[in-house]
């Protein structure tokens, strides 16, 4: 369970998070949405401890994450941009990440098979295309069996088949009872898989609830328009 209490973060003069209160219970898929620059990635990186918030408390399963790092053993994180050290091969990278995690239960082979990555295993990461890098990124994220999965724009650069595989993968993880946090700009993808929406706007939570609730609130028949209407009403 994630509990976030009054989270603030400033980058210089730019106040990105202005008091986020959020509780996410175990199990289910939660989509964090919002326009560019609304603080989605900042929020996610704060949970991971990559960003140090100015104030506020983040608790994971009841314990504060501040100054602790062991808790990241329970998180699988997919970064937004697949940036890897370029002179490693795919295989070396996978071995390295395995070496760094304490959990020894990994099923990288199944995932490599699933995304058809065998021909790339001995290639250097510099020489891979954007989509293939994203697949490697997905393998690194899903090969561990952690109770919390955080995906920042998981669909970037994927071809349609991998896209379908990814959806299957996410649904399978959910059925194991995991908590999954996703950010995405692809509304059809979100509508298909998300159980609940957290909508961020200018560093605050503007809406939280299920998709049907959102449709009723905005009086729009489909999801994409509902989001758009929320955005335009806030811009007005």
Partner 1 sequence: MLKILKYSFFDLMRSRWSYVYFLFYLLLGVMLLFLNNDLSKAVITLMNVIIVLVPLIGTIFGVMYYYNSKEFTELLLAQPVKRSSIFLGQYFGVALSLSMSLIIGLGLPFVFYGIFNSGAIWDFSLLLVTGAFLTLIFTALAFVIALANENKIKGFGYAILLWLFMAVIYDGIFLMSLVYFEEYPLDKFSLVATMLNPVDLSRVLILLKLDISALLGYTGAVFQKFFGTSFGLILSILLLFIWVVVPTFFIQRMAKRKDF
Hey, which residues does 105 pair with through a beta bridge?
Answer: none
15 binds partner 1 (CB under 8 A): no
Query: In 3-state terms, what secondary structure has residue 94?
Result: helix
83 binds partner 1 (CB under 8 A): yes
CB 74, min distance to partner 1, A: 8
Q: Return d(Cα 28, Cα 170) in angstroms, integer.
A: 10
Determine which residue in the list 61, 64, 85, 210 makes contact with partner 1, applying CB under 8 A.
85
91 binds partner 1 (CB under 8 A): no
Residues 43-72 that bind partner 1 (CB under 8 A): 45, 48-52, 69-72
Phi-psi region of 2 (alpha: psi -120 to 50; beta: other; left: phi over 0): beta
Nearer to partner 1, 16 or 211 (CB): 16
Q: Which of 88, 153, 154, 149 is nearest to 124 (CA)?
A: 88
List the structure tokens of 168.
């299957």
Determine which residue in the list 14, 99, 212, 232 makes contact with partner 1, applying CB under 8 A.
99
Token match 């003069």: residue? 13
Residues that bind partner 1 (CB under 8 A): 11, 45, 48-52, 69-73, 75, 77, 79, 83-88, 96-97, 99-102
């Amino acid at each position: 369970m994630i509990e976030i209490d009054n989270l603030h973060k400033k980058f210089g003069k730019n106040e990105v998070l202005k008091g986020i209160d959020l509780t996410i219970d175990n199990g289910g898929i939660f989509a964090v949405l919002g326009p560019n620059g609304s603080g989605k990635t900042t929020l996610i990186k704060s949970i991971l401890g990559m960003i140090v918030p100015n104030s506020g408390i983040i608790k994971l399963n009841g314990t504060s994450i501040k100054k602790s790092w062991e808790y990241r053993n329970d998180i699988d994180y997919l970064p937004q941009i697949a940036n890897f050290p370029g002179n490693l091969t795919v295989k070396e990278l996978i071995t390295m990440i395995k070496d760094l995690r304490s959990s020894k239960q990994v099923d990288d082979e199944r995932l490599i098979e699933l995304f058809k990555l065998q021909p790339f295993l001995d290639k250097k990461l510099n020489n891979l295309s954007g989509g293939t890098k994203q697949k490697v990124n997905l393998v690194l994220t899903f090969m561990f069996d952690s109770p919390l999965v955080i995906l920042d724009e998981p669909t970037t650069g994927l071809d349609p088949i991998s896209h379908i595989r990814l959806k299957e993968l996410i649904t399978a993880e959910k059925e194991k009872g995991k908590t999954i946090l996703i950010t995405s700009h692809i509304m059809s993808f979100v509508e298909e898989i998300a159980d609940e929406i957290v909508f961020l706007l200018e560093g605050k939570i503007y809406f939280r609830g299920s998709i049907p609730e959102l449709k009723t609130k905005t009086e729009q028949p489909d999801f994409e328009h509902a989001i758009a209407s929320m955005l335009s009403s806030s811009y007005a």
